[in-house]
Amino acid sequence: MNLPLSEALKKYSRQTHDSVDALVLSMHPFASVENYSKFLQAQDIFQKTLKPIYDDLDWNYKIEGLSQLSRLKQISKDMQDLNVNPVSMVEEQPNPSGFEAIGWLYCSEGSNLGAAILCKEAQKLNLSDSYGARHLAAHEEGRMRHWRKFKEQLDGLELTSEQRQQALQGAEDAFAFFKRVIRQV
Ligand code: HEM
């Protein structure tokens, strides 16, 4: 029996997650506002790549309220708060296709769990969910509750094995892209 999609995504990307986690921490994003600003620039690039997926009509039919979940607006406000300018990627913008989009969404929504830890760190720089660290705030219905609901929606999608493979590949690509973004900024 196949694992539910959300569990397969977790299993498949655990190692990559841990390497992203270590890479982010190695840039000491909360050591100074300057370092945090770079982290914001990375989040901005990442969320800009995801925006077309969050806005996609077909995915919005399949995943309720999807377009509301993009954190790009909050990131822009965080950047304005701290006078940080967006940067562009040197490489071409990835363009996830088909069911790869699911893996990208998994990666993006899941990153909000780790944000619970980052949020606390941000307080040390006097940042909060109303100044500079808005994009790290919990979903209004609560981080875990929202995450469970999101995973249920993923698990409710009926995918062929090829589509499932695309979703797993998408998660891998998303984590790998985030790593390249972090290295660039
Ligand atoms: C320093 C940075 C990070 C830390 C400390 C961190 C930490 C965590 C923690 C503690 C969890 C929750 C585990 C749980 O309660 O089950 C989590 C989950 C997750 N994080 Fe991160 N994270 C970081 C960065 C990221 C980034 C940059 C991404 C994506 C680009 C990401 C993607 C995810 C995903 C997809 C999950 C969900 C795993 C699952 O399926 O349960 N994380 N992270």
Q: Which residue has its alpha carbon closest to ligand 1 atom 14?
A: 113
Q: How far apart are CA 15 and CA 21, in angstroms?
A: 10
Q: Which residues line ligand 1 (CB under 6 A)?
A: 10, 17, 20-21, 24-25, 106-107, 110-111, 113-114, 117, 175, 178
CATH topology of domain 28-184: Heme Oxygenase; Chain A (1.20.910)
- pLDDT digit string, tens, across residues 121-149: 999 999 999 999 999 999 999 999 999 99
CA atoms within 13 A on the CB side of 83: 2
Counting from 1 in the atom list of ligand 1, the atom nearest the Cα of 13 is: 35
Q: Which residue has its alpha carbon closest to ligand 1 atom 3?
A: 21
pTM above 0.75, yes or no: yes
- pLDDT digit string, tens, across residues 146-173: 999 999 999 999 999 999 999 999 999 9
